[in-house]
Amino acid sequence: MNYFEIDGKNLNIKNSIGIIENNIKIKISGKAVKKVIESRNLIEKWINGNEVVYGVNTGFGEFKDVIISPGDIEKLQVNLLHSHSAGVGKYLPDKIVRLMMFFRINSLAKGYSGVRIELIEFFIKIFNNNLIPLIPSQGSVGSSGDLAPLAQMALTLIGEGYCKLNGKIYKSSDALIKCGLTPIKLSAKEGLALINGTQMMSAYLCKALYDSIYLSKITDISASLSIEASRGTSKAFSDILQRARPHKGQIDCAGNLRNLLAKSDIMKSHIECEKVQDAYSIRCIPQVHGAVKDTIEFCKKVLEIEINSATDNPLIFSEISDHIEGGNFHGEPLALAADYLCIAMSELGNISERRIARLVDGSMSGLPRFLTKNGGLNSGLMIAQYTAAALVSENKVLSHPASVDSIPTSANQEDHNSMGSISTKKCYDVVNNVKKIIAIEFLCAFQGLSFLRPLKGGVGVEEAYKLINKDIKPIDEDIIINELISKIEKVIFDENFLRQIEKKTGILK
């Protein structure tokens, strides 16, 4: 059996999502084991020497000055999990929980947390057995990390709380038995090390980014279909124009559009028309889509640093034989990145909806009104645009930055919080809304192109049309539209859709 070997520093968005999607099992590298053992030896040394270390033999937060007796150190860790399991609301999606677990294991494997290697190995067994803790989604303020969600996750390790196994919900103690596992007893610092981190924020942002990277490419495809259906010009996408304002994303997007529209019969058919230039939602696609691509790239760098970081407190540095109380658990980098991505993806949805509106408006598109032959008796795709408008409006509300807020906690000991949990969760929601908006654009553009047959679009446009046409036919009379949207969403978010188009256009950026 193949295992992915974690060492605390080798994760990226693509391999992380791949491990979760494909249920790949993991193990810890030998080098990481050595580092973990070295830092744990220091913890044991300090305990035996009665040295005061925050979270090891002291209380937490405002109780930082309360010294805990040696006999109560293990109970302190369990009490911490109990008291911090205070989340509420619907449970996190299973894949988000799996990402949380994976990222927390990787952070512990860096060897700065002072936990026993036995704890990490037990955590890996839980992950590899696909045990999924039930974690309420609300309660984190984004520092000291995602305390409440991670505490709920950690309960499973000690046989408390509830989790899923093979789609069924069990008491964690019963689920462990089914997997042949015995709950672990926590030792000094281990409860704190399990919950002091940014892994819920990281999980949400990782999934949102993975989907955004894909969306940024297929939205160039949906836009190219809309350009053809509305008989726009490709002149605004010339390389020389983009390089007069050389933002990388803008250059890449324009290149994608040129490749998608290459050899278009539709484009040739209206080359002598009276139109001087297209509306912004067509003409400015490289400038808008490109800015989104640049935003994604920035956020990707932030996230990939974070998922390979040590984010608890205190951290144990065996190389200098010291512990440092700090703030690596603070979610500000993720909070700001998620708010930035949230705004960018909302804009991707905004401009797509404007193209949808143009396609269904016969006075602007030159196509039958609402893309139906027998208007009046049929309403065509009129309400599909309403749905896109509703999703865009929802995204505008969700795009208010959560990171500008901070509510102090723990009697003002923790007096500035990132609210990154809110930023990342709503970013995830915005991205899912944008998926549906883009599906609607594909539907409208596909229907619009059907009125221009037998003229063919560019090589990429034509391939997209053919792939969609395998499952969906142009509509001649009204049918249930949400079923069409769901079908087309399934087609375009199968990654084979992009791969097939790239065989015609080359790799899209």
CA distance 174 to 158: 12
Strands 88-91 and 3-6: unpaired
437 is written with which tokens? 């908006």
Question: What secondary structure, in 3-state letters, does 100-117 show?
Answer: HHHHHHHHHCCCCCCCCH
Contact 422, 341 (CB under 8 A): no
Count CB-CB contacts under 10 A for residue 380: 21
Long-range contacts: 23-30, Cβ < 8 Å, 24+? 23/130, 25/1, 25/128, 26/102, 26/105, 26/124, 26/127, 26/128, 27/3, 27/124, 28/105, 28/109, 28/117, 28/120, 28/121, 28/124, 29/5, 29/109
Examine the residue annotation and report whether 112 is marked as an active-site residue of this protein. no
- Residue among 103, 105, 92 nearest 132 (CA): 92
DSSP 164-207: EETTEEEEHHHHHHHTT--PPPP-TTHHHHHHSS-HHHHHHHHH
Quick one: CA dihedral 130, 136, 142, 144, positive or negative? Answer: negative
End-to-end CA, the chain: 34
Contact 188, 72 (CB under 8 A): no
Q: For residue 216, is the peptide bond before it cis, meaning its omega torsion is within 30 degrees of 0?
A: no
- Residue among 127, 96, 351 nearest 210 (CA): 96
Radius of gyration of the chain (CA): 26
Q: Which of 54, 91, 214, 465 is catalytic?
A: 54
475 is written with which tokens? 């509509």
Residue positions counted in the chain = 509
Contact 191, 153 (CB under 8 A): no
Contact 77, 115 (CB under 8 A): no
Cα atoms in the 13 Å half-sphere on the side-chain side of 433: 29
Give catalytic residues, as residue numbers.
Answer: 54
